[in-house]
Amino acid sequence: MKIAFPTNNGKRINAHFGYATHYLVVTVEDGAEVAREMREKDSHAGKHDDHQHNGNGHGHGHGHNHGGMVAPLADCDVLVVGGIGAPAARAVQSMGVKVVPTNISNIDSALQAFLAGELPIDPGAIHNHGHHH
Protein backbone atom coordinates (compact mmCIF):
# COMPACT_ATOMS: atom_id res chain seq x y z
CA MET A 1 0.00 0.00 0.00
CA LYS A 2 1.18 3.51 -0.76
CA ILE A 3 0.09 6.52 1.28
CA ALA A 4 0.69 10.03 -0.03
CA PHE A 5 0.92 13.26 1.97
CA PRO A 6 0.96 16.70 0.28
CA THR A 7 3.95 18.52 1.78
CA ASN A 8 6.60 21.17 1.19
CA ASN A 9 9.33 19.76 3.41
CA GLY A 10 8.52 16.07 3.89
CA LYS A 11 7.70 16.59 7.56
CA ARG A 12 4.38 18.40 7.73
CA ILE A 13 1.15 17.93 5.82
CA ASN A 14 0.49 21.13 3.90
CA ALA A 15 -2.72 22.72 5.17
CA HIS A 16 -3.84 23.34 1.60
CA PHE A 17 -3.40 20.59 -0.94
CA GLY A 18 -3.24 23.10 -3.81
CA TYR A 19 -0.21 24.86 -2.37
CA ALA A 20 1.88 21.81 -1.53
CA THR A 21 4.96 21.53 -3.74
CA HIS A 22 5.56 17.80 -3.28
CA TYR A 23 4.02 14.55 -2.17
CA LEU A 24 5.71 12.37 0.38
CA VAL A 25 4.77 8.84 -0.68
CA VAL A 26 5.18 6.16 1.98
CA THR A 27 5.13 2.50 1.01
CA VAL A 28 3.62 0.24 3.67
CA GLU A 29 3.78 -3.55 3.75
CA ASP A 30 2.24 -5.67 6.50
CA GLY A 31 1.44 -2.56 8.51
CA ALA A 32 5.01 -1.25 8.55
CA GLU A 33 6.74 1.48 6.56
CA VAL A 34 9.29 0.06 4.13
CA ALA A 35 10.10 3.10 1.99
CA ARG A 36 9.34 6.76 1.49
CA GLU A 37 10.01 9.09 -1.39
CA MET A 38 9.42 12.73 -2.26
CA ARG A 39 7.63 13.31 -5.56
CA GLU A 40 7.22 16.70 -7.16
CA LYS A 41 3.72 17.76 -7.99
CA ASP A 42 3.74 18.32 -11.74
CA SER A 43 1.71 21.51 -11.62
CA HIS A 44 4.45 23.25 -9.66
CA ALA A 45 7.46 22.10 -11.66
CA GLY A 46 9.42 25.21 -12.55
CA LYS A 47 6.55 27.65 -12.10
CA HIS A 48 5.93 28.07 -8.42
CA ASP A 49 4.06 31.33 -8.84
CA ASP A 50 1.61 30.18 -11.48
CA HIS A 51 -1.35 30.56 -9.16
CA GLN A 52 -0.81 34.31 -8.90
CA HIS A 53 -1.70 35.11 -12.49
CA ASN A 54 -5.40 34.46 -12.74
CA GLY A 55 -6.78 37.65 -11.22
CA ASN A 56 -7.90 36.47 -7.80
CA GLY A 57 -4.71 34.70 -6.83
CA HIS A 58 -6.50 31.37 -6.41
CA GLY A 59 -7.03 28.95 -9.25
CA HIS A 60 -8.42 26.13 -7.18
CA GLY A 61 -11.36 24.39 -8.74
CA HIS A 62 -12.12 27.10 -11.29
CA GLY A 63 -11.13 25.53 -14.56
CA HIS A 64 -7.97 24.51 -12.72
CA ASN A 65 -6.39 21.44 -14.23
CA HIS A 66 -6.03 18.86 -11.50
CA GLY A 67 -4.73 16.25 -13.92
CA GLY A 68 -1.06 17.11 -13.66
CA MET A 69 -1.38 17.80 -9.96
CA VAL A 70 -2.74 14.36 -9.12
CA ALA A 71 -0.83 12.35 -11.73
CA PRO A 72 1.99 11.41 -9.31
CA LEU A 73 -0.66 9.73 -7.13
CA ALA A 74 -1.59 7.18 -9.79
CA ASP A 75 0.00 4.27 -7.95
CA CYS A 76 -1.06 5.38 -4.46
CA ASP A 77 -3.91 3.93 -2.43
CA VAL A 78 -4.51 6.72 0.05
CA LEU A 79 -4.01 10.51 0.11
CA VAL A 80 -3.92 12.01 3.60
CA VAL A 81 -4.70 15.73 3.48
CA GLY A 82 -4.98 18.63 5.90
CA GLY A 83 -7.16 20.63 3.54
CA ILE A 84 -8.35 20.10 -0.03
CA GLY A 85 -10.96 21.56 -2.32
CA ALA A 86 -13.82 19.27 -3.27
CA PRO A 87 -12.97 19.34 -7.02
CA ALA A 88 -9.40 18.23 -6.31
CA ALA A 89 -10.66 15.58 -3.90
CA ARG A 90 -12.99 14.27 -6.60
CA ALA A 91 -10.12 14.21 -9.12
CA VAL A 92 -8.05 12.12 -6.71
CA GLN A 93 -10.92 9.77 -5.88
CA SER A 94 -11.71 9.30 -9.57
CA MET A 95 -8.26 7.70 -9.89
CA GLY A 96 -9.16 5.15 -7.24
CA VAL A 97 -7.23 6.87 -4.48
CA LYS A 98 -8.97 7.25 -1.12
CA VAL A 99 -8.91 10.79 0.30
CA VAL A 100 -8.45 10.86 4.08
CA PRO A 101 -8.76 14.34 5.63
CA THR A 102 -7.20 14.81 9.06
CA ASN A 103 -6.21 17.59 11.44
CA ILE A 104 -2.83 16.03 12.32
CA SER A 105 -0.16 18.06 10.54
CA ASN A 106 2.92 16.02 11.46
CA ILE A 107 3.40 13.37 8.78
CA ASP A 108 5.05 10.79 11.04
CA SER A 109 2.30 11.17 13.64
CA ALA A 110 -0.42 10.94 11.01
CA LEU A 111 1.24 7.89 9.45
CA GLN A 112 1.51 6.06 12.77
CA ALA A 113 -2.10 6.88 13.63
CA PHE A 114 -3.27 5.76 10.20
CA LEU A 115 -1.43 2.44 10.45
CA ALA A 116 -2.95 1.91 13.89
CA GLY A 117 -6.40 2.65 12.51
CA GLU A 118 -6.68 5.65 14.82
CA LEU A 119 -6.26 8.58 12.44
CA PRO A 120 -8.85 11.25 13.32
CA ILE A 121 -10.96 12.08 10.28
CA ASP A 122 -11.73 15.77 9.77
CA PRO A 123 -14.54 16.11 7.18
CA GLY A 124 -14.18 19.89 7.37
CA ALA A 125 -10.81 19.59 5.65
CA ILE A 126 -12.60 18.99 2.35
CA HIS A 127 -13.81 22.38 1.19
CA ASN A 128 -16.96 22.45 -0.91
CA HIS A 129 -16.70 26.11 -1.82
CA GLY A 130 -13.93 28.66 -1.98
CA HIS A 131 -13.74 30.31 1.41
CA HIS A 132 -10.23 31.63 1.08
CA HIS A 133 -9.09 34.32 3.43
Write the pLDDT tens digit of every residue in 36-45: 999 999 754 4
Q: How confident is the model at residue 49 (pLDDT cuts 50, 70, 90)?
A: very low
Q: What is the pLDDT of residue 50?
A: 43
Q: Is the pLDDT of residue 131 over 60?
A: no
pTM summary value? 0.81
Residues in CB range of 94: below 8 A, 6 or more apart: none
Rounded Cα gap, residues 100 and 123, in angstroms: 9
- Name the H helices within the chain: 67-70, 86-93, 107-115
Q: Is the pLDDT of residue 62 over 90?
A: no
Rounded Cα gap, residues 74 and 82, in angstroms: 20
Q: How confident is the model at residue 59 (pLDDT cuts 50, 70, 90)?
A: very low
Please say whether the beta carbons of 92 and 73 come within 8 A: yes
Q: How confident is the model at residue 52 (pLDDT cuts 50, 70, 90)?
A: very low
Q: For all residues of the chain together, what is the average pLDDT?
A: 85
Quote the percentage of the chain above a pLDDT of 90: 73
Strands 84-85 and 78-81: unpaired
Rounded Cα gap, residues 8 and 133, in angstroms: 21
Q: Nearest CA to 28 among 56, 2, 6?
A: 2
Query: Domain locations in the chain?
Result: 1-23+30-43+110-120
Q: Is the pLDDT of residue 47 over 70?
A: no
Q: What share of the chain is helix, strand, coil (3-state, %, to 5)?
A: 25, 30, 45
Q: Could you read off the pLDDT of 64-89 as tens digits, one per residue?
A: 568 888 999 999 999 999 999 999 99
